[in-house]
Amino acid sequence: MSSITIFVPVYNGELYLEKTIDNITQQSFRDFEVLFVDDSSTDSSVSIIRKAAKEDERIKLFVKKHEGSVAYSWNFLLSGKHLNSPWTLYMSQDDLLHPKLLENLIRTQNSTGADAVIPSCRLFSDEIDNNTFTELNKANDMSKLAAKGCISGHDAFELMFDYTIPGFALWNTNIIKRIGMPTEAFNSDEGMQRIWILNCKKVAFESSPFYYRQRNNSIGKGVGPHHFYSVLTEMKLLSVAKQEKIDINKINQAQYNSLFWTLWLSCYKNIKNFFSIEKEKEISNILKNAYKFFIEDLPKPKDKKQFILFLTAKNSIILYIYIFIYTKYLKSKYS
């Protein structure tokens, strides 16, 4: 059994896979396995991975039916009992690791006894000017937190809730197995990272970077039918944040952000013919329930945007006008 399992979900990743595989196999720490879970790619991804697997026995390939979400690939591994290493690291098919990242993550875990070790996260792109990421990369440098030592899962959840710290981590596999992974939304995995971190007794940090690739996709081009379920994840996380009594300012900001996203999706749905009649009813009910959830105990607004959202929560006529005007705006922008 390997010390670390690296899990890489794949779908049509032929442009990046050779570089990603080469990057992983050149890690200074050697005691790992790589589990590629292909979501029925239509390009040469499977061939690339199969070739690599013949050359390195640590690489394993699984091909599953197309389900379009990382959460399903997590569940494929969990239900098939393929996660057997004590530690698990997730990365996308186009991400990269510092050459000594695994070595440093394991060293930090051994010295601290932490249930999760969070590395620095460095954004990069082949499509976008990398100077764009300068400030974000400074914020995602975990060096200062690494120097301070471990924090509790509760404190890490509060930091991860609003992305003050990244969601990438070397995870105690038993926590992943115990809590599992829901598949109700495309971003279920992102939400569960925060639940996993909350269930850690100790969380440590490592200054070595995880390289997180960014692509040039606008929200209008990128939104598909699966995004409408994302409000379910946001409802769940906001509930947990309130139960855990984290910083009220973070809760209030998240509540307004989620309210805006729910209304955005409601308006966007009006200009796109995504769904069958039956599915349309389901999505409408999800958005309706999410709107009710996010306006409950809505705090006083702090700026103009929040003030407008606050008014929609207090007056149905203003809500109707908001949806009418914003739908018209989105139609002119994305139709």
Whole-angstrom Cα distance, residue 64 to residue 73?
Answer: 8
Evaluate the CA torsion angle 19, 20, 21, 24 in order and state its sign: positive
Convert the pLDDT of each residue in 129-160 to its tens digit. 999 999 999 999 999 999 999 999 999 999 99
Convert the pLDDT of each residue in 168-187 to its tens digit. 999 999 999 999 999 998 89
φ, ψ at 94 (rounded to 5°): -115, 5
CA dist 133 → 67, 72, 123, 144 (Å): 32, 30, 6, 19
Half-sphere exposure of 50 (CA within 13 A, CB side): 6
Give yes or no for a contact between 244 and 157, defined as CB atoms under 8 angstroms apart: yes
pLDDT at 274: 80
Q: Residue 298: exposed, middle, or buried by beta-carbon count in 10 A (0-12, 13-18, 19+)? A: middle
Give yes or no for a contact between 189 and 74, defined as CB atoms under 8 angstroms apart: yes
Stated length of the chain: 335
Q: Which domains does the chain have, with CATH numbers?
A: 4-213 (3.90.550.10), 219-334 (no CATH)
pLDDT above 80: residue 221: no
pLDDT above 80: residue 16: yes
CA dist 200 → 17, 106, 185, 249 (Å): 32, 16, 24, 24
Residue 273: which pLDDT band, with cuts at 50, 70 and 90? Answer: confident
pTM for the full predicted model:
0.94
CA dist 235 → 82, 123, 191, 216, 287 (Å): 30, 28, 10, 28, 11
Cα angle for residues 247, 252, 253 (degrees, 5° grid): 100
pLDDT at 276: 86
pLDDT at 209: 98
